[in-house]
Amino acid sequence: MKPKLGLFLVFALIMACGLLGGSSFRVVNATGQSSSTISISPVQTCCGAPDRPLQTGESFSVGVNASILIGESVQGFDVRVNYTNPYVVLQATGIDYSSNVFSSHSNSGPLTECVDGISKIQNAAGCAGETLGQVHFTEAILGQALAGPFSGVLFRIIFQVSGPGSSIFVIDRSDISNPNPDPSNPQQFHFQLIPLVRNAGFFGNQGVVAFFNYQPQDASISPSLLPNQPVVFDASASFAGNGSSVSFRLYSWNFGDGSAVSNATVATTTHSFRAPGNYTVSLTVWDTQNEMGSISRYVGVLPALGNLALIVKNQIGTVMRGNVNVRVFNSSSFSNPFATKAVGASGDVQFNGLIPGSSYYLTFSGDTVESFSKTELVEPGLTTYDTVYLTEKAPPADYSGLIYLGTILGGLGIVLAAIIYKTRSRRVDSSRRSSRKGKSRK
């Protein structure tokens, strides 16, 4: 099963135990945003005090924060952070979620808590395949959801300094669920993932530490980076690892696609990639004392297409395992589908490479379900997730018991008839013998 679809099943199981309700969490108006975001806070970490970088053995923490727009709700999240140079520069020692956005709810708790591939939850299997340099945390709230807009900490990662150098904190998984009640039955939910802009963070305790974040110039189109869409690169978080207040005078960029910007005097620049792919973007900065620092990051540009991933369930929330066919049409007026797939053994089905910005018409059919149809909107560079509820057909009347009973009764009838026939035959024979004996006596 695909990880995100598996996450939906976890959240769906939790929500099946209770209804959505209100939240006492204080909301903060997330102004100036065109997309919900998830980020590392603080963006830069270097020092325990001015002009004193953190030394080996000292500890600090960084928060994984979410800022959710109005119209979105959060019922659970599944986030994994990768950090570089594990055990060389930093060692993750734990996860703190004691005062996060769910802390005021007694019916919440962690589902996955992994540090460097080791589970902190007894008998949990959520760390399979994970390794050094990864911190993974999943939590859900039972029976409620936090309505946007709000900003808050999802969890904090505790680090201990292992040595001099730098480490980057990159959010490589950020699945935040938005449960939308089904209009036909408010107890059923269409679980969707909130599209997010991701922002990384950085640690350094020596030299000039170069760093940059990036995001689409217009994240309302898509929080993903798309071909021919401007991307804003921001190096303003670069800093001196010794904690001194220095300023930077030059910024040089190489975008990994043959394009570069040399000796820019401002920290931000804009660039568009012509084709999808993974690009190595490099930044070099110089401070006013002519000291230099560099960093390279992988930047992924996705095709300007969309995907559709569905979980199919019955009306009581049980996953439909196969026996359901899904057909996709460009609109309800089309008679021929352009794609047909059967629901898999885990109740999931996925369609990739769909043209975004369109509403696709889907039909669901099978021997055991009532026919159903709905429309789905596909967005550029994103996978649209949804849960579809089908009505199972009533099983045909079972007459096997009556047939069996009839067979038994029929058999008994035949035996009884045979007994009666034999009894009558014996009586007739006896009567004939008596009659012959009487005649012979005369």
CATH architecture of the domain covering 306-390: Sandwich (2.60)
| pTM of the model as a whole | 0.80
* Shared fold status for 1-206 and 207-304: yes
Task: Return d(Cα 407, Cα 403) in angstroms, integer.
Answer: 6
Task: Return d(Cα 71, Cα 42) in angstroms, integer.
Answer: 27
Note the pLDDT tens digit of each residue in 275-332. 999 999 999 999 998 999 999 999 999 999 999 999 999 988 899 988 899 999 998 8
For domain 207-304, give the CATH number: 2.60.40.10
> In 23-165, which ranges are E strands?
36-41, 44-45, 47-49, 52-53, 59-68, 73-74, 76-83, 90-96, 108-115, 118-119, 134-141, 146-147, 150-161
CATH topology (fold) of 1-206: Immunoglobulin-like (2.60.40)
Note the pLDDT tens digit of each residue in 209-260. 999 999 999 998 999 999 999 999 999 999 988 777 788 999 999 999 999 9
Residue 205 near residue 249 (C-beta atoms within 8 A): no
| Every domain of the chain and the residues it spans | 1-206, 207-304, 306-390
Q: Which helix (H) or strand (E) holds 421?
A: helix 400-441
Note the pLDDT tens digit of each residue in 281-295. 999 999 998 999 999
Instruction: Tell me what percent of the chain is helix, strand and coil, each rounded to the nearest 5.
Output: 10, 50, 40
Question: Within 10 Å of residue 5's Cβ, how many Cβ atoms?
Answer: 21
Residues whose CB falls within 8 Å of the CB of residue 51, separated by 6 or more in sequence, listed in order: 242, 243, 244
DSSP code for 16: T
